[in-house]
Amino acid sequence: MASHRRPKQPSRARVTFFGAAATAAATVGITATSAQAAPQPTIDEVQAEVDSLYEEAEAVTEEYNGAKEREEELEAAVEDLQDSAARGQDELNELRGSLGSIAAAQYRNGGLDPSVQLFLSSDPDAYLSRASTLDQVSGRQAETLQLIEGKQRILDQQRAEAADALAELESLRSDLGDQKETIQGKLSEAQALLNQLSEEQRAQIAAQEAADREAAERASRAEPRGDITPVEGSGYAVAALNYAIGKLGSPYVFGASGPGSFDCSGLTSWAYAQAGVALPRTSQSQAGVGTRLGASELAPGDLVFFYGDLHHVGLYAGNGQVVHAPRPGQSVEYIGLNVMPFQFGVRVA
């Protein structure tokens, strides 16, 4: 979701001014011709604010992706625990049934053994502690009761773990809803700012972005790529890159990981998965999967990370170019390595 241009960082005064002007205009509907109208924000100020909102939204998106990954892990863990508990209960019922059969046989033959009476009137733990002093347990019954005791303990533990995991899952799902609302709010705010501009002003922003991109590519002496020609080479990194190249033009959708749409880390994780390599879901986690590299050390297929908090990631395509999923309203594309604030690359181990 990263911007295609290095956003101009407005001063604190400019941001405050912009926010005040926008709020005033939205609240009381002051027109530009009114004698008391606040100055309208400039195109540069609008673009800087929009870029900032998109960056904030992408940072929250990566938090959302991490939470979604944890949600999937918890769902699998809960399912496993519940399955294990169900199997444990069946085994426990079978053991208790076998002990009940012994009781029935003893009753038919003239009465219940005291040990069986004791078991049927209390829990296994109490039975074993009392029976051990009374020496009332036959070898086979003692073994069965010890199995029951052990399985009951395991079953209780599994049920407690499942309950804890379900509670965490419920809390996580609430957090996911809040994060989704935050992302949507920032995207809506960015769109509202752009909607304040005229069609001509929006065209000027698009033209400026294109000019900034060209300037950055010229500065890096990179030759822009625009086709889907596969990169030659072998290994899973090149294979992952070619899978990503095959998705050029696919739309950006926050939280998406293919195959029809992607966010930034969704594209990289999907591409490497097609090449047979599992990557973590978030850009920050992906930054720790291999050896860090400087710009001069990059090879096709290496992961490349941008911004200080590493909230954006792409795949190095060679010749100073990166394949990435940019931001809402845009599609998977090539971009120059230096268009965004590059931090480092990672060669997947």
**Residue 287 CB-half CA count within 13 A:** 17
Question: Which residues are CB-contacts of 177 (< 8 A; sequence separation ≥ 6)?
Answer: none
Distance CA 22, CA 11 (A): 17
Count Cβ atoms within 10 A of the Cβ of residue 181 and give its class: 0-12 exposed, 13-18 middle, 19 or more buried.
Answer: exposed
| Residues 262 and 253: beta-carbon distance below 8 Å | yes
Q: Among this protein's residues, is 311 annotated catalytic?
A: no
- Report the relative pairing of strands 321-324 and 312-318 from DSSP bridges: antiparallel
Kindly name the residue from 264, 275, 313, 337 that is annotated as catalytic. Answer: 264
Q: Among this protein's residues, is 324 annotated catalytic?
A: yes
Distance CA 71, CA 221 (A): 44
| Beta pairing partners, 90 | none
Tokens 């020496």 label which residue?
135
Kindly name the residue from 5, 247, 324, 327 that is annotated as catalytic. Answer: 324
- Report the relative pairing of strands 303-306 and 333-336 from DSSP bridges: unpaired
How is the beta sheet containing 333-336 ordered, strand by strand? 290-293, 342-348, 303-306, 312-318, 321-324, 333-336
- In the numeric block, which tokens belong to residue 234? 């072998």
Count other C-beta atoms under 10 Å from residue 46's C-beta: 21
Distance CA 189, CA 195 (A): 10
* Residues listed for the chain: 349
Kindly name the residue from 85, 312, 332, 340 that is annotated as catalytic. Answer: 312
- DSSP per-residue letters across 142-187: HHHHHHHHHHHHHHHHHHHHHHHHHHHHHHHHHHHHHHHHHHHHHH
- The residues that are catalytic are 264, 312, 324
